[in-house]
Structure formats: structure tokens, C-alpha cells
Amino acid sequence: MSRPLVGHLDPAFVGMMEEIKTMLREVFQTRNEMTFPVSGTGSAGMEFCLVNLIEPGDEVVIGVNGVFGTRMVDVAERCGARVIKVEATWGRIIEPQQIADTLKQSRPKLVAVVHAETSTGALTPVEEISRLAHNAGALFMLDTVTSLGGCAVKIDDWQVDAVYSGTQKCLSCPPGLAPVSFSKQAVEVANRRKTKVQSWYLDVNLLGSYWGQDRVYHHTAPITMNYALHEALRLVLEEGLERRWQRHRTNHEALKAGLAKLGLQLAAQEGHRLWQLNTVTVPEGIDEASVRKRLLSDFNIEVGAGLGPLKGKIWRVGLMGETSTRENVKAFLRALSQLLKESGKRVDVEAVLAAAS
């Protein structure tokens, strides 16, 4: 990112754009032509998908089991959608049966879920939901902001029509771009619109002309961010997707084993826990916020707080991308052990670390 800037239509940058698209297709596991990074963070990717695919009055089914499903509903409503929410308790997944039941009574244009709910630590399996959506004649949309690069994301195999992600999670890049991809069917739906896309900035046709072969000027791409994404994707592919997913998995298992020795529980639904975002139930008698503050001030370790109904009840421990290492798992367990000890809990730090090993 500290390299000198070139112009956004400079041949060197144009070449880099092609490489970014090719690498993104590989990371998303798709052959979709319409694959590129939107200038903006993950929420811009969410907005990109929804503004292009929804027209006022369209019916949309959205799975809501955390902050980001809730945000999708907000954005879809701003696009004029009639939203049908399929809700699950925060920490649990959206069950295919819930979607199936909803589709018995509705004919939506789009079904959307969040793959990895960062606010709760739950990973909703999507293949069955995608099949149900298509059988009902709807498009299927997926939020992969936290999943991409940290666990399997297979856009073509899972027949996802619209997907967005972010750079700052398991791609280990600074925030600022939102990788997106549209299937042919999604592009057709956007092309058949009766009304103009209400966002000029996020219009897929305008952006497609800039990122496609025509290179029609649309907006000035954030050059430096694209350097960063190029390098981040190169590193992901150098490691290999399967190996990277496996690394996230084993470090999650190590953390889980250490936490179990500490007598702590993971909060998300068993069998559907994220490897890259571990939600830990705060034990009785422990002040959630003061542990989090001491982790930061005394150990230089930042963990997230619970949000919404989980506020004060969980810690959110990220092991994303480059930060998913055994050293980080152990540093966190060592620090947490010390803080719990200071709070009067009996802790055998060596046994905790041995379990993580």
C-alpha cells in the first residue's frame, strides 16, 4: 500500500484489475464473469446486491439470526422491498425447514441469508436453502463477509446468485473494498428492471462497464486498496484454500480445548460454530467488560463484546486470516487464565496450554 500510485486507467492498474478479478473468482470458487471488488466496505457489498436486485414492491425473504441479517432487512426495506423475516435465536442457525415453511406461503424474488454471523459465531449451512430458493423461483443471496477465506465458500457449487464479502476479515486486508459476484441469472434480473437502480454509485451495469473490457470511467478506484487486495488474494492462493480453511479449523479446535479446561463454553449452536469467530459464554460472577478492557490494556489483545441480546453475555474472539495462529490462541488463553485467576477462579494454566497444544 505504500507503493507509488498510478492512475486508475494506467495500463499497469488495468492489468492488476484483471488479476484481481481472476483471483477473486478462484477464492469465491466461481466462474461468474460479473466478479469484482466494489469500492466501499462489506456493507457497500450488501447494498450493491440489494439495490440492483430489488425494485419497489418486490417480496424478499431474509434470514435474521444476528446483527447482519437485521442490517440486510434495513437495506432491503430502503430499496422498497416487502421483507418477510425468518428469525432464529441469536447464536443459532437459520434452519432450511424454516425457509421451506415460509416459501409455502410466499413467492419472493430473492432469499438471502448471512453465511457466517459475526455477531453470534454461527455458520448457517446454505446448500439446502439455496435449493429451496431456486425451487420457488427466487434468486439466492449470501453474505460471506466473515466466511470468505476462513472456511468453505463455494459460490458455483452452492448456486449462489449474489454474494458479497469484505476485505478485513479472513482475507486479512485493511477495510475498504467489498468483493462481489453475480450469476448470469442475477445479471439478467438487474438488466430486466423496470426502474432505474436508485444508487448510481452501485449500479451493476455502470460498474460492470468499468471493471469489464470497456473500461468506461465510472468512479476513481481506490488504487492503494486494490494493491492491498491483490496482495491479500495472492497470499490466500499461495497458502491454498483448503489448507487455509484447515488452519482456521485446527486453531479453533485448539482454542476450544483450552477453553474447556478453563471450564468455559462456546456460545454458538453446537455443530455450527465458526472457526474464525469464537463466541465464549462469560462465566457467572465475571465482569465481561473489565476482562475485555484488561485484555487490551495489559496484554494488547482485543476481543469483541456481545451485541444486541448477547451484550454482556459473550466475548467474541476472532481468529481470522493471518491472526489464526497457535501462538495467538495460546497468548489469549494465557492472558484469560491470568485474569480469571485474579478474579478468584482456580486455574491450572499449564493444563490449559497443554490442552490447546
Contact call for residue 118 and ligand PLP (CB under 6 A): yes
Residue 145 touches ligand PLP, criterion: CB under 6 A:
yes
Contact between 146 and ligand PLP by CB under 6 A: the answer reads yes
Could you tell me the three cell numbers for 6? 498510478
Under rule CB under 6 A, residue 227 binds ligand PLP: no
Q: Binding string, 335-354, against ligand PLP, x = CB under 6 A?
A: --------------------
Q: Which is nearer to ligand PLP, 212 or 222 (CB)?
A: 222
Which listed range, 48-56, 143-151, 290-298, 310-318, lies at the site for ligand PLP (CB under 6 A)?
143-151
Which residue from 28, 274, 23, 275 is spatially nearest to 157, judged by alpha carbons?
A: 28
Restricting to residues 42-61, which ones interact with ligand PLP according to CB under 6 A? 42-43, 46
| SS percent in the chain: helix, strand, coil, step 5 | 45, 15, 40
Kindly state the smallest distance separating residue 118's Cβ from ligand PLP, in Å.
Answer: 3
Strands 110-114 and 82-87: unpaired
Q: What burial letters (b/e) apply to 210-242, b meaning 16+ CB within 10 Å? A: bbeeeeeebeebbbebbbbbbebbebbeebebe
Q: Does 39 bind ligand PLP (CB under 6 A)?
A: no
Q: How many CA atoms lie within 13 A of 212 on its CB side?
A: 12
Place of cell 499497469: 12
Site string for ligand PLP, 175-214 (x = CB under 6 A): x---------------------------------------
CB of 144 to ligand PLP, least distance (A): 8
Within 8 A by CB and 6+ apart from 283, the residues are 263, 264, 340, 345
Q: Nearest-CB residue to ligand PLP?
A: 42
**Cα–Cα dist 302/322, whole Å:** 15
Q: Of 221 and 335, which has the nearer Cβ to ligand PLP?
A: 221
275 counts as binding ligand PLP under rule CB under 6 A: no
Closest distance between ligand PLP and the C-beta of residue 291, in Å? Answer: 22
Judged by CB under 6 A, does residue 158 bind ligand PLP? no
Q: Residue 273: left if φ>0, alpha if ψ -120 to 50, beta else—which one?
A: beta
Q: Which residues bind ligand PLP (CB under 6 A)?
A: 41-43, 46, 68, 114, 118, 143, 145-146, 166, 175
